[in-house]
Amino acid sequence: LLGIDVSKKDNFALWYTRVITYSEMIDYYDISGCYILRPWAYSIWESIQRWLDAEIKELGVENSYFPLFVPKSVLEREKDHIEGFAPEVAWVTKSGDSDLAEPIAIRPTSETIMYPLFKKWIRSHRDLPLSLNQWSNVVRWEFKDPTPFLRSREFLWQEGHTAHATFEESQKMVMDVLNLYKKVYEELLAVPVIQGRKTEMERFPGGDITTTVEAYIHGSGRSVQGATSHNLGQNFGKMFEIQYEDKAGGHAVPWQTSWGLTTRSIGVMIMAHGDDKGLVLPPRVAPKQVVVIPIVKASLSAENKAALQSYAERITTDLKAAKIRVHLDHRDNYTPGWKYNHWEQKGVPLRLEVGPMDLDKGTARMVRRDSGLKVDLAAEAVVHTVLHVLEEIQANLFAKCKAERDKKLVKVWEWRDFVPALEEKCVILTPFVNETEWEEEVKRRSREEALAGESEDARTATSAAAKTLCIPFDQPDLPPGTKCFVSGKEATCWVLWGRSY
Ligand SMILES: O=C1CCCN[C@@H]1CCCn1cnc2ccccc2c1=O
């Protein structure tokens, strides 16, 4: 039996690679940083999409689709802030043997593609709010080591772009979307996240305010940005000369937002819940929530085999009728034991074993993937028990993840306690002066003290340095006079730090 054969706590990176391949979610491709999303993974993206798409439409956002390509001259209109991103832009320079007159970029994000059209469409206050979303792929030619789902050169996302008459309206949109992102993580993926604002150094330079949901990966002790929602202010309106006639008849520039959640969310869920037997799926996004496995002994008579088969089929039909995503694995070329291992690796929340004894007694044995608990059920109790236990599993996965995160979420007041806490895989709240030079200092010193003279490859996807994750909206009490943990100056807020992807 091909098992994962590596423990999550002993070799997290290898464990992750084994889990995503043995569960048939990912396969590898000739081009580094590009992966195949197999049906078991794509189905999870569809569940996220289905829920989030309905919710953003409730916010008055409409879906649209813009071109994949942006001319060099247009992309560089954002010159000031994309210089940081320029190395990641992928270019089309030829068609066939002939060079293109002007190089064309493949979208890394769509502001520069969309906003010239926003300029054309927004002429009056009656055209506002303009709220569009796009489900698409984007390409960023990352330099750091790629990790399936978490960092790939092409990924799927949604990007929302809105324009409003007032800052207040735009900021409400920013927060409404951020709250949806929190729900995607906490209610669909069973992963707790912390909402907050990015510091000056970490925010999207094209905007005014970047808000974020930050997740913590217990296995690696690293944090990861789950999704972002930006208030762009009037920066892009000015850059793209978007003007409209306001109610008073004057000229005004709209207040804009942009926001995105990507297939990285699937990687976060895998890392958060997976165990040494493989994937553990939250029922709300599990492609299959129950797998029914008949235990057909060779010694059974033909009619008993047939009877067992139809009994298993009846249980499966009852579950399907209750809108439960169920699969009956009646393949006769695999043993029950092999099937248990296979579906455990794929993370199916519940297994129903149905053997000859169960046929006689009218029962089935239910086995939970998250806890391993085995319970014998009467056939007529299967549907309502499964519905209830699926909800229990969803809640249990969230509670376990939150407990693990909270155990590693610590407050630090003095520098001397900071790097040791990082070494303990903690995510750290500190009183902070919130000045960029001190943020740089913490990055530098935490890396230096952690590496203690060893070198670190710039390509590494995971640095030893601590970085700010966010300024949590939920601020602990900060008594006046509290000192910043690193500068000794007056602290102005609590900041969340961690090693991250
Ligand atoms: O986050 C989001 C949410 C979705 C819409 N876009 C914003 C901001 C994207 C920032 N960004 C990120 N990588 C880039 C890479 C190359 C060129 C430009 C960029 C770039 O502007």
What confidence tens digit (pLDDT) does each residue in 343-364 have?
A: 999 999 999 999 999 999 999 9
| Residue of 57, 35, 46 whose CA lies nearest to 133 | 57
Distance CA 217, CA 394 (A): 18
Q: Which residue from 52, 85, 231 has its CB within 8 A of the most atoms of ligand 1, so it is best to mutate?
A: 85
In Å, what is the CA distance from 357 to each residue of 293, 295, 304, 308? Answer: 14, 10, 11, 10
For residue 214, how far is its CA from the centre of ligand 1 (angstroms)?
A: 18
CB 215 within 8 A of CB 226: yes
Q: Is the peptide bond before 129 cis (omega within 30 degrees of 0)?
A: yes
Query: Is the Cβ atom of 140 under 6 angstroms away from ligand 1?
Result: yes
Site of tokens 């169920």: 326
Predicted local distance difference test score (pLDDT) of residue 478:
98
Query: Is the Cβ atom of 259 under 6 angstroms away from ligand 1?
Result: yes
CB-CB neighbours of 451 under 10 Å: 13
CB 69 within 8 A of CB 106: yes
Q: What is the ipTM of this complex?
A: 0.99
Predicted local distance difference test score (pLDDT) of residue 454:
78
* Atom 6 of ligand 1, residue of closest alpha carbon: 109
Q: Give the number of the atom of ligand 1 that is nearest the alpha carbon of residue 157.
A: 4
Predicted local distance difference test score (pLDDT) of residue 298:
84
Distance CA 501, CA 217 (A): 10
For residue 109, how far is its CA from the centre of ligand 1 (angstroms)?
A: 5
Using the Cα atoms of residue 200, residue 203, residue 205 and residue 209 in order, give the sign of their dihedral.
negative
Q: Give the number of the atom of ligand 1 that is nearest the alpha carbon of residue 210.
A: 1
Predicted local distance difference test score (pLDDT) of residue 457:
83
Query: Is the Cβ atom of 204 under 6 angstroms away from ligand 1?
Result: yes
Query: Is the Cβ atom of 174 under 6 angstroms away from ligand 1?
Result: no
Query: Is the Cβ atom of 85 under 6 angstroms away from ligand 1?
Result: yes
Query: Is the Cβ atom of 133 under 6 angstroms away from ligand 1?
Result: no
For residue 106, how far is its CA from the centre of ligand 1 (angstroms)?
A: 13
Q: Give the number of the atom of ligand 1 that is nearest the alpha carbon of residue 259.
A: 3
CB 194 within 8 A of CB 472: yes
Q: What is the pLDDT along the chain (501 residues), one digit of tens a residue?
A: 568 999 999 999 999 999 999 999 999 999 999 999 999 999 999 999 999 999 999 999 999 999 999 999 999 887 776 778 999 999 999 999 999 999 999 999 999 999 999 999 999 999 999 999 999 999 999 999 999 999 999 999 999 999 999 999 999 999 999 999 999 999 999 999 999 999 999 999 999 999 999 999 999 999 999 999 999 999 999 999 999 999 999 999 999 999 999 999 999 999 999 999 999 999 999 999 999 999 998 889 999 999 999 999 999 999 999 999 999 999 999 999 999 999 999 999 999 999 999 999 999 999 999 999 999 999 999 999 999 999 999 999 999 999 999 999 999 999 999 999 999 999 999 999 999 999 999 999 999 998 887 778 877 777 899 999 999 999 999 999 999 999 999 999 999 999 999
Query: Is the Cβ atom of 108 under 6 angstroms away from ligand 1?
Result: yes
For residue 159, how far is its CA from the centre of ligand 1 (angstroms)?
A: 10
* Atom 9 of ligand 1, residue of closest alpha carbon: 109
Query: Is the Cβ atom of 142 under 6 angstroms away from ligand 1?
Result: no
For residue 411, how far is its CA from the centre of ligand 1 (angstroms)?
A: 32
Query: Is the Cβ atom of 260 under 6 angstroms away from ligand 1?
Result: yes
Predicted local distance difference test score (pLDDT) of residue 82:
76
Total count of residues recorded for the chain:
501
Q: Give the number of the atom of ligand 1 that is nearest the alpha carbon of residue 206.
A: 21
Query: Is the Cβ atom of 152 under 6 angstroms away from ligand 1?
Result: no
Predicted local distance difference test score (pLDDT) of residue 441:
98
Single-letter amino acid, residue 307: A
For residue 108, how far is its CA from the centre of ligand 1 (angstroms)?
A: 6
Query: Is the Cβ atom of 88 under 6 angstroms away from ligand 1?
Result: yes
Residue 399: which H helix or E strand, with range? helix 382-408
Model's pTM, two decimal places?
A: 0.97
Q: Give the number of the atom of ligand 1 that is nearest the alpha carbon of residue 89.
A: 16
Return the CA Rg of the chain.
Answer: 26
Predicted local distance difference test score (pLDDT) of residue 83:
77
Query: Is the Cβ atom of 288 under 6 angstroms away from ligand 1?
Result: no
pLDDT in tens, 230-268: 999 999 999 999 999 999 999 999 999 999 999 999 999
